Amino acid sequence: MSAIDGLPKLSDVIATHGLDAKKALGQNFLLDLNITQKIAKNAAPFDKCTVLEIGPGPGGLTRALLANGAQKLVVVERDERCLPALQEIAAHYPDRLTIIEGDALEFNPYEEIEGDFKIVANLPYNVATPLLTNWLGHEPWPERLLSMTLMFQKEVAERICAKVGDKHYGRLGVLCSLRTEAQILFNLSPQAFTPPPKVTSSVVHLVPKTTPIPCELSKLETITKSAFGQRRKMLRQSLKPIGGAELLEKAGIEGDRRAENLSLEEFIMLANSL
């Protein structure tokens, strides 16, 4: 990367600014510049949109995004220790990088970013799923969101991309299937990070469906919470608190089936019958 942008090596940046990763912030810095380049290239092109990055840390992915053509990049960083390193990148790329100090859970890109945008991030593990569900829950959908290229723990990535019949199929897979086409691009070993996490990571690419099947999201969440909350039970039992047999009859679904065997379309029928 230094051969591309002339900035110091990330290991030197971390040493200079004393950026030891904080477990409380879910930090695992991605220092392999080949991987940050790969993520950026999978998320490109960036010429007609703003790019949002969450938790840039010392700026490895930030630099890759800028080097691969991001003209308007917004980064949200909670750790004030990382700001000087990010400001050095901003100085190297005048008028292309906006740094926001704050909590990503409180940052609403639909309100804060003008025009079309993409989200690209090595998400902090401790807030990755809430961030994703917040973004997916926006109404109207997808309102200017072009794509999301995000890193998760492999187990979470498998849940995001799971379809009916997969062992990882659950609430998150149903929600993501309703509103996006999701795929795992590649996996990363713990050694790609500093410090190495105890789990394998995966990069997931999600493209919003522009015309998803009509469904009230809050009702779908109610259905999936009950159905998967007792996933080994038959639906007539797991859905009993919210209508049980009557609800199933209205949706035309047999009560002796289980949540793991219901398709997205069938969950939508249940939600629309609630």
Q: What is the pLDDT of residue 231?
A: 83
Each residue's pLDDT tens digit, 79-95: 999 999 999 999 999 99
**Which secondary structure element, helix H or strand E, spans residue 148, and what is its range?**
strand 145-153
Buried b (16+ CB within 10 A) or exposed e, 136-168: bebeebbebbbbbbbbbbbebbbbbbbebeeee
Span 39-67, average pLDDT: 96
Mean pLDDT of the chain: 93
Q: What is the pTM of this model?
A: 0.93
Each residue's pLDDT tens digit, 204-231: 999 999 999 999 999 999 999 999 998 8
| Dist. CA 205–CA 44, nearest whole Å | 11
Determine if the peptide bond prior to 241 is cis (ω within 30°).
Answer: no
Each residue's pLDDT tens digit, 141-180: 999 999 999 999 999 999 999 999 899 999 999 999 999 9
